[in-house]
């Protein structure tokens, strides 16, 4: 496998170019290295290479990596979260990217023992693909309004997964739509939902997502690889 630092160099170069195309600052983009398909050693290599954010999509994976990684990192839970796993996950991650239903908000409210808030992205299924979770675009605003009742939750942004497209450009309308929804929420100036962040873009489409306003990109195979298939 290619060393992580070489992949990171290439990705940073592409981020820089994408930012230049649309007049953004490279510092606005946070790279979350998605380590769900790689070993603890590979995740540690990513941190040693300068990656500051790590993302896991299963509770077991998050707990295992947190235990093993010695370097400093900000932790992201990016996968679908079952209510019964809430108590294991919310104190072990800095950001939850997959808040997608009120029953989950209820469970977070009940289980959270910290003295701040759980920083959440509300997940939106912009494309309407059946295989993907998330709110419908039409349902997002009323969902955000309902979250006011849960003071353990802070909505820091919106998250989406675009469908895989062999031509990455084809993902653009989904990212544009998420940005529009985010701006509508920002306008409302909710105390519980500042919603300044956009978690969108993966290995295949992060440059398009950046052009459309992503502040967190979630990159797995292109950055750390996939040890199940020797990608990257
Ligand atoms: C696996 C995963 C990613 C990373 O996917 P790659 O295509 O390997 O970059 C990003 N976001 C979520 C929610 C994922 O589950």
- Tell me which residue has its CA closest to atom 10 in ligand 1: 218
CATH architecture assignment, domain 4-224:
Alpha-Beta Barrel (3.20)
**pLDDT value at residue 136:** 98
Instruction: Report the predicted TM-score, pTM, of the whole model to 2 decimal places.
Output: 0.97
- Tell me which residue has its CA closest to atom 5 in ligand 1: 220
Neighbours of 175 (CB within 10 A): 23
Strands (E), 87-213: 95-99, 118-123, 153-159, 197-199
Q: Degrees (nearest 5) of the Cα angle 80, 83, 85?
A: 80
Q: Which two tokens stand for residue 221?
A: 């195979």
Mean pLDDT along residues 74-82 = 98
The residue ranges of every structural domain in the chain are 4-224
**pLDDT value at residue 227:** 87
d(CA 37, CA 127): 25
Which of 31, 32, 33, 34 to probe ligand 1 with, by most ligand atoms within 8 A of CB? 34
pLDDT in tens, 124-141: 999 999 999 999 999 999
Mean pLDDT along residues 153-159 = 98
**pLDDT value at residue 56:** 98
- CA dist list (Å): 214 to 101, 176, 182, 189, 198: 23, 10, 11, 20, 5
Indicate whether 231 pLDDT > 70: no
- Tell me which residue has its CA closest to atom 6 in ligand 1: 220
Q: What is the atom index within ligand 1 of the atom nearest the CA of 159?
A: 13
Indicate whether 229 pLDDT > 80: no
Ligand 1 mean position to 148 CA, how many Å? Answer: 29
Mean pLDDT along residues 79-100 = 97
**pLDDT value at residue 232:** 58
pLDDT in tens, 18-29: 999 999 999 999
């Amino acid at each position: 496998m290619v060393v992580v630092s070489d992949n990171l160099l290439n990705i940073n170069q592409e981020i820089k170019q994408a930012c230049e195309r649309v007049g953004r600052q490279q510092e606005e983009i946070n790279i979350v290295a998605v380590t769900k398909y790689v070993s603890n050693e590979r995740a540690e290599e990513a941190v040693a290479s300068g990656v500051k954010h790590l993302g896991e999509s299963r509770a077991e994976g998050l707990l295992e990596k947190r235990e093993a990684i010695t370097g400093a990192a900000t932790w992201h839970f990016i996968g679908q979260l079952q209510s019964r796993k809430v108590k294991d996950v919310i104190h072990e991650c800095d950001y939850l990217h997959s808040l997608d239903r009120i029953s989950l908000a209820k469970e977070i409210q009940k289980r959270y023992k910290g003295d701040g808030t759980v920083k959440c992205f509300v997940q939106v299924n912009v494309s309407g693909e059946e295989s993907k979770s998330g709110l419908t675009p039409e349902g997002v605003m009323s969902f955000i309004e309902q979250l006011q009742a849960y003071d353990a939750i802070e909505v820091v942004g919106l998250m989406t997964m675009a469908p895989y497209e062999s031509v990455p450009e084809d993902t653009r309308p989904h990212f544009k739509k998420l940005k529009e929804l985010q701006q509508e929420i920002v306008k409302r100036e909710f105390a519980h939902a500042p919603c300044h962040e956009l978690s969108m873009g993966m290995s295949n489409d992060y440059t398009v997502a950046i052009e459309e306003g992503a502040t967190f990109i979630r990159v797995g195979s292109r950055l750390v690889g996939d040890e199940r298939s020797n990608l990257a």
